[in-house]
């Protein structure tokens, strides 16, 4: 017997929900585009610049949006249920991707272990940790939580372990964005962008153009966030300074992107409800395409634009309700009865009880 996994539906602020669903879909398009562009960044300047621009905001904002939606199911039975849900997804897709990689994809420098999340699956492992960390900091104020998260993000590069293990490096580096998203006042943000949208967008684009024009000797690993300071080739002091500068760069790029997102209801709003399916399934398609070697044929700016259009089509296709209908048992699986019984104690544990 399987226990059907149902996530409780909570009333959301209509305007805030619409805006964040729009953000979520545009971000998943960026995720798909980034994965298609990654094999080309060493051979195409256009692909490299576009890839760096996407990576300057898409992971911070995805974590921020995840933190925003976590406010509705962080504590209580819904919180423990969500943790089980994410953990089961991680175990299932870590197994699927690892088997396919070992037999078909054969991506170089990949460690096959449940303690080393496979490429994009680091986000699921990180999501679990972000929720547990935020629950443990529930007695702190927002400012105190933010200070703690920034301290963790700046210092994680000092650890004498490979940053990919347990996705610890990325998880702690992006934890401040989860904190901000959880506490974000949506109405104030929307009002701000309604008044200053054009100025913010122009200012952010000008800043990024200046950043690329300076041609700073910044290795791509700083944008991945999965390497220690030793792996990045800097000492502790320089590493923390660089990471702080990266936070500032990511904030500027993120604000500029948010200014471009439509606030009201749009075609992409409904697609934004099914980004989980795009996230978990697109990697299978992208890896399959990459094994053919066809991606390395894209070099010119026009060909890069064609690749971006293809990324949009993939995102739109995988966000269709038919795909959810066909793959829901895989993407949102049920919990087997023995496993459900083993973890039932966790649901009653005080850690997940909402504090007054």
Question: What is the per-residue pLDDT for 218?
Answer: 78
The tally of CA atoms less than 13 A away on the side-chain side of residue 89 is 25
Question: What is the per-residue pLDDT for 343?
Answer: 53
Give me the phi and psi of 228, to 5 degrees please.
-80, 170
Q: Is 93 exposed, middle or buried (0-12, 13-18, 19+ CB in 10 A)?
A: buried
61, 64, 69: which is closest to 30 by C-alpha? 61
Question: What is the per-residue pLDDT for 5?
Answer: 36
177 Cβ contact partners less than 8 Å away, ≥ 6 residues apart: 60, 61, 63, 64, 67
Question: What is the per-residue pLDDT for 3?
Answer: 33
76, 304, 69: which is closest to 181 by C-alpha? 69
Return the H-helix or E-strand segment holding 187.
helix 186-214
Whether the CB-CB separation of 114 and 91 falls below 8 Å is answered with: yes
Question: What is the per-residue pLDDT for 338?
Answer: 58
Q: C-alpha dihedral over 17, 19, 20, 21, to 10 degrees?
A: 80
Whether the CB-CB separation of 318 and 28 falls below 8 Å is answered with: no
Q: Domain residue spans in the chain?
A: 2-348
Strand pairing partners for 2?
336
% helix, strand, coil for the chain, step of 5? 75, 0, 20
pTM value is: 0.88
End-to-end CA distance of the chain: 36
Name the stretches of the chain with pLDDT < 50: 1-12, 350-356
H helical segments located in 56-112: 58-70, 76-100
Radius of gyration of the chain (CA): 20
Whether the CB-CB separation of 308 and 26 falls below 8 Å is answered with: no
Question: What is the per-residue pLDDT for 29?
Answer: 98
Strand pairing partners for 335?
3
């Amino acid at each position: 017997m399987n226990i059907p996994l149902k996530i409780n539906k909570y009333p959301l602020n209509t305007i805030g929900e619409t805006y964040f669903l729009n953000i979520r879909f545009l971000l998943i398009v960026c995720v798909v585009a980034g994965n298609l562009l990654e094999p080309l960044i060493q051979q195409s300047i256009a692909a490299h610049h576009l890839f760096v621009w996407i990576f300057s905001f898409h992971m911070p904002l995805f974590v921020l949006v995840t933190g925003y939606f976590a406010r509705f199911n962080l504590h209580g039975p819904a919180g423990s249920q969500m943790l089980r849900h994410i953990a089961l997804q991680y175990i299932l897709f870590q197994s699927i991707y690892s088997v396919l990689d070992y037999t078909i994809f054969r991506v170089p420098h990949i460690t096959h272990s449940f303690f080393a999340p496979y490429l994009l699956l680091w986000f699921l492992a990180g999501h679990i940790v972000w929720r547990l960390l935020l629950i443990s900091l529930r007695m702190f104020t927002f400012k105190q939580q933010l200070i703690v998260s920034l301290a963790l993000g700046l210092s994680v590069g000092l650890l004498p372990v490979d940053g990919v293990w347990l996705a610890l490096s990325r998880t702690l580096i992006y934890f401040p964005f989860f904190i901000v998203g959880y506490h974000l006042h949506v109405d104030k943000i929307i009002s701000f962008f309604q008044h200053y949208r054009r100025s913010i967008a122009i200012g952010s684009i000008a800043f990024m153009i200046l950043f690329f024009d300076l041609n700073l000797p910044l290795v791509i690993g700083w944008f991945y966030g999965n390497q220690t300071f030793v792996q990045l080739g800097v000492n502790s002091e320089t590493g923390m300074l660089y990471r702080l500068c990266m936070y500032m760069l990511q904030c500027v790029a993120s604000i500029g992107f948010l200014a471009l997102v439509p606030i009201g209801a749009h075609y992409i709003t409904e697609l934004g409800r099914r980004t989980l399916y795009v996230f978990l399934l697109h990697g299978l398609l992208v890896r399959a395409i990459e094994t053919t070697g066809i991606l390395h044929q894209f070099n010119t700016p026009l060909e890069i634009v064609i690749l971006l259009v293809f990324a949009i089509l993939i995102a739109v296709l995988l966000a269709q309700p038919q795909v959810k209908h066909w793959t829901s048992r895989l993407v949102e699986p049920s919990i087997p009865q023995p496993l459900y019984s083993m973890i039932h104690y966790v649901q009653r544990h005080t850690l997940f009880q909402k504090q007054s």
